[in-house]
Amino acid sequence: MRYDAGEVITAMITPFNEDLTIDYPSLKKLINHLIDTGSDAILVAGTTGETPTLSHEEEAHMFTFVKNAVEGRVKIIMGAGSNSTQTAVESSVMAKKLGADAILSVVPYYNKPSQKGMYEHFAAVAKAVDLPIILYNIPGRTGVNMQPATIAKLASEFTNIVALKQSNSDLDLISDIKSLCPDDFTIYSGDDSLTVPMMSLGAHGVISVASHIAGKEIKEMVSAFKSGNNSEALKIHLKLYPLFKKLFMAPNPVPVKAALANLGIIKEYVRKPLVVLDEEEKKELLAIIDNYTCFI
165 is catalytic: yes
Phi and psi dihedrals of 232, rounded to 5? -70, -40
Could you give the residue ranges of the DSSP H alpha helices within 115-167? 115-128, 139-142, 148-157
pLDDT in tens, 220-239: 999 999 999 999 999 999 99
Name the active-site residue from 67, 75, 165, 219.
165
Omega cis (within 30) before 253: yes
For residue 113, being part of any structural domain is answered with: yes
Q: Provide the sign of the torsion angle of the four alpha carbons 174, 49, 114, 129, taken in this order.
A: negative
Boundaries of domain holding 266: 8-295
Whether residue 197 lies inside any domain: the answer is yes
Any domain includes 73: yes
Asked if 116 is an active-site residue, the reply is no
Contact 248, 4 (CB under 8 A): no
Could you tell me the mean pLDDT of each successive run of 10 residues in the chain, 296 residues long? Answer: 90 98 98 98 98 97 98 98 98 98 98 98 98 98 98 98 97 98 97 98 98 97 98 97 97 98 97 98 93 56
Could you say which of 136, 153, 246, 269 is catalytic? 136
Domain assignment of residue 135, yes or no = yes
* Residue 239 amino acid letter: K
Domain assignment present for residue 1? The answer is no
Is 223 within a domain? yes
> Does residue 2 lie within any of the structural domains?
no
Nearest alpha-carbon partner for 47 in 23, 90, 83: 83
CATH of the domain at 107: 3.20.20.70
The per-residue pLDDT for 292 is 65
For 140-190, write each residue's pLDDT tens digit.
999 999 999 999 999 999 999 999 999 999 999 999 999 999 999 999 999
Q: Report if residue 3 sits inside a domain.
A: no
Give how many domains the chain has, as a whole number: 1
